[in-house]
Amino acid sequence: MFWRETFIVFRRQLRLALRNPAWVIIGLIQPILYLVLFGPLLEPIAGQLGAQNAYTLFVPGLLVQLGLFGALFAGFGLIAEWRAGVIEAERVTPASRTALLLGRILRDVLQLVVQGAVLIGLAFFFGLTGSIAGMFLGLLLTVLLGAACAAASNALALTTKSEDVMAPLINSVALPVLLLSGILLPMTIGPQWLQIVSDFIPTKYIVNAIRELFTGDFFTITVFWGVLWTLVLFAAGLWVGTRTFRKENA
Amino acid sequence: MIHARGLARTFAGRGKGAEKVEVKAVAGVDIDVDEGEIVGFLGPNGAGKTTTLRMLTTLLTPTAGTATVAGYDVVTESQKVRRSIGYVSQSGSTSPEARAGEEIVDHGMLYGISKAQATARGRELFEQLDLDGLWTREPKAMSGGQRRRLDIAMGLVHDPTLVFLDEPTTGLDPQARANLWTHISDLRSRRGATIFLTTHYLDEADALCDRILVIDHGTIVASDTPDALKRQVSGDLVELVLADASRSGEAATVLSRVADDDLTVSGATVSARVRGAGHEVAGLIRSLDAAGIALESLEVRRPTLDDVFLTLTGRSLREDA
């Protein structure tokens, strides 16, 4: 029953997304623009940054950026649905409240998988080399992070019910997290104070772990921390999300 | 079908500054609705109508009291309640960009019925609700009346025996409203459904309901048939407009002989409540004629539910609506 309900919600969401693919396309073009317009700038300085290949450094960063930004904005669609009465109509059915959330997150996850795969595939043309298995694992970590962010974003949307409250809130969190995660440039080239601040940002460990996975180093302490943080964030995101969806009057 | 006792809901709100206050949205209501009844829930905005409805439909947990809906407890057996009822909320139920048919099939499937069954049922409802040919139409391209009927179809896809309608005709033009009323009465005559609807339109409650519950400030202040409620108002309103305003004093004296209440004089207009005005009005005209008071016009108005509300609460429904 639960999976059937989840699938009904997922299929509906996917259908709506594909019928109006503007957001899917924008989400896809953004990382490609980074790859095309920023990637070449990194190539000559990759060696100085401690990487043999500029793209094993850069693509993991872009993946995490996708997972963070793409998914954090997923909740905006939910506000529109809430306003149209869809959420309440679904909540008055006997369907599981968790299924209503999970079906939506799965759509975001699918979108993320496609975007990530396109990004990695395209990066090969620019000269990405590395461990294919590592890339798959990196994509997996990205997807788990994205699911957590999508769940949190949906929970936030259902709590605030206002784009005007949500947009500045997400931006004010996402931008510093993005910068301090070392997505464009590794934090190691920064001054001491910046590195210390970035130590408090969980996604920095995830970016670093995916970078090592891309180069084929699987069993390192960096990968361990990255995987651990991904799992912690994943569990926390889903917990907050389901709790909010189960709450009455949400 | 519905039995509620002392059903109440308080919200944690904020007073001036940071002090916390409890807002009593519904202060303990008793509701009984029998099978096959159409019951209207009447009250101004903010009286607690929607909050009560959300408690009865399991969307909101009561802070006190109990309620059984379709035989099940709304708190401990909420799943069973949800299976048995249809709810048409005032905010709609479909995405503007989705296709009507797909929305109704998905909605039916969330109730656990098969895709084939949901499709057949949806098609049948589209036909009954005059939505033929709109199966693939997007709700954003529908008229307000069509969208409301689609919402009703959504609420009926699983064949509920009890249907809740929250302000079903708000925002519709008069023609679409009258059309929707026909469809709502059809729900009972065709399907034997019990209907509980909220409204702040008096004519709507009057046209549709067997019985009306009047709610104000979170408590039910009256429960009766529309006619019985209107009988509580002392009589029909008789309004005389005189040809000559200077005779209004004399006219008032004549009218007062048959009047029960509310004798008022304002310029050339003299009015009063008269019990059984249809019977009294012939004699009234004769008396006025005998006194040589010429009339510009005479109007007899049956009491409206607005008058009922005014009598019960001391204020007009329209002030808040």
Dump the DSSP string for B193-236: -EEEEEES-HHHHHHH-SEEEEEETTEEEEEE-HHHHHHHS-SE
> What residue numbers bound the domain in which A66 lies?
2-246
CB B147 within 8 A of CB B168: no
Looking at the domain assignment, is residue B83 inside a domain? yes
The pLDDT mean for chain A works out to 89
**Where is the domain boundary, B173, B195, B230?**
B230
- Which CATH number does the domain housing residue B221 bear? 3.40.50.300
Q: What is the mean pLDDT of residues B96-115?
A: 93
Angle at A240 between CA A237 and CA A242, to 5 degrees: 105
Looking at the domain assignment, is residue B48 inside a domain? yes
The answer to whether A89 contacts B60, with C-beta atoms less than 8 Å apart, is no
CB A32 within 8 A of CB A106: no
So what's the pLDDT on residue A250? 46
The answer on B109 and B74 residing in a single domain is yes
So what's the pLDDT on residue B319? 55
Over pLDDT 70: what percentage of chain B?
Answer: 96
Range of lowest pLDDT (A74-83, A129-138, A167-176, B256-265):
B256-265
The answer on B243 and B124 residing in a single domain is no
ipTM reported for the complex, 2 dp: 0.86
Q: What is the mean pLDDT of residues A199-215?
A: 91
First to last CA, chain B: 29
The type of residue at B249 is G
Handedness of CA A136, A141, A147, A153 (dihedral sign): negative
**Where is the domain boundary, B230, B255, B288?**
B230
**Would you state the structure tokens that stand for residue A243, as one six-digit string?**
């709790």
The answer on B292 and B144 residing in a single domain is no
The answer on B242 and B190 residing in a single domain is no
Looking at the domain assignment, is residue B87 inside a domain? yes
Judged against a pLDDT cut of 60, whether residue A82 lies above it is answered with yes
So what's the pLDDT on residue B321? 41
The answer to whether A15 contacts B89, with C-beta atoms less than 8 Å apart, is no
So what's the pLDDT on residue B318? 63
The answer on B46 and B27 residing in a single domain is yes
The answer on B219 and B103 residing in a single domain is yes
Stretch 68-127 of chain B: residues touching chain A, C-beta under 8 Å: 79, 82-83, 85, 87, 89, 91-98, 102, 106-107, 109-112
Handedness of CA B290, B294, B297, B299 (dihedral sign): negative
CB B187 within 8 A of CB B140: no
Looking at the domain assignment, is residue B318 inside a domain? no
CB contact B187 to A (< 8 Å): no
Looking at the domain assignment, is residue B12 inside a domain? yes
Write the DSSP string, B118-134: HHHHHHHHHHHTT-TT-
The answer on B148 and B80 residing in a single domain is yes
The answer on B114 and B249 residing in a single domain is no
Q: What is the mean pLDDT of residues A39-44?
A: 84
B175: closest CA of chain A, how far (Å): 24
The total of other beta-carbon atoms located within 10 Å of residue A85's CB is 19
| Domain count across chain A | 1
Looking at the domain assignment, is residue B313 inside a domain? no
Judged against a pLDDT cut of 50, whether residue B159 lies above it is answered with yes
The answer on B220 and B153 residing in a single domain is yes
| Domain count across chain B | 2
Q: Give A4's Cβ-side CA count (13 Å radius).
A: 13
Looking at the domain assignment, is residue B309 inside a domain? no
The answer on B202 and B254 residing in a single domain is no
Candidate from A16, A20, A94 with C-beta closest to B79: A94
> What residue numbers bound the domain in which B240 lies?
234-302
Distance CA B301, CA A45 (A): 89
So what's the pLDDT on residue B262? 78
Judged against a pLDDT cut of 80, whether residue B295 lies above it is answered with yes
Looking at the domain assignment, is residue B319 inside a domain? no
The answer to whether A92 contacts B111, with C-beta atoms less than 8 Å apart, is no
Query: Which residue of A lies nearest to B98 if distances are taken between CA atoms?
Result: A16
Candidate from A8, A85, A248 with C-beta closest to B92: A85
The answer on B249 and B226 residing in a single domain is no
So what's the pLDDT on residue B259? 80
The answer on B287 and B142 residing in a single domain is no
The answer to whether B95 contacts A16, with C-beta atoms less than 8 Å apart, is yes
First to last CA, chain A: 23
The answer to whether A8 contacts B106, with C-beta atoms less than 8 Å apart, is yes
Over pLDDT 70: what percentage of chain A?
Answer: 99
